[in-house]
Amino acid sequence: MNDSDLRQLVIDELEFEPAIDASNIGIAAKDGIVTLSGFVSSYAEKMTAERAVRRVKGVHAIAQEIEIRYATDKK
């Protein structure tokens, strides 16, 4: 499986997961290593995103760089 196919599978999995707003998550894939970046609104959403990516066949490792931005945080 090439990197662009793996990236698309991860995007599809994150968009399918109802507990995640994937619109603010960036995804990169290289040699089975998936990097997640961007931000989510809670720690639970961050962990759900990581679990969703682990379900994708072909993912060997995850570099988790997602930040949490609470609704009460100043912008």
Tens of pLDDT along 10-62?
999 999 999 999 999 999 999 999 999 999 999 999 999 999 999 999 999 99
Closest C-alpha among 13, 10, 19, 23 to residue 59: 10
pTM: 0.87
- Maximum C-alpha span of the chain: 42
Compute the distance between CA of residue 27 and CA of residue 72 in angstroms, rounded to an integer.
26
The fold adopted by the segment(s) 3-68 is Histidine-containing Protein; Chain: A; (3.30.1340)
Domain segments of the chain: what residues? Answer: 3-68
Residue 73 has pLDDT above 90, yes or no: no
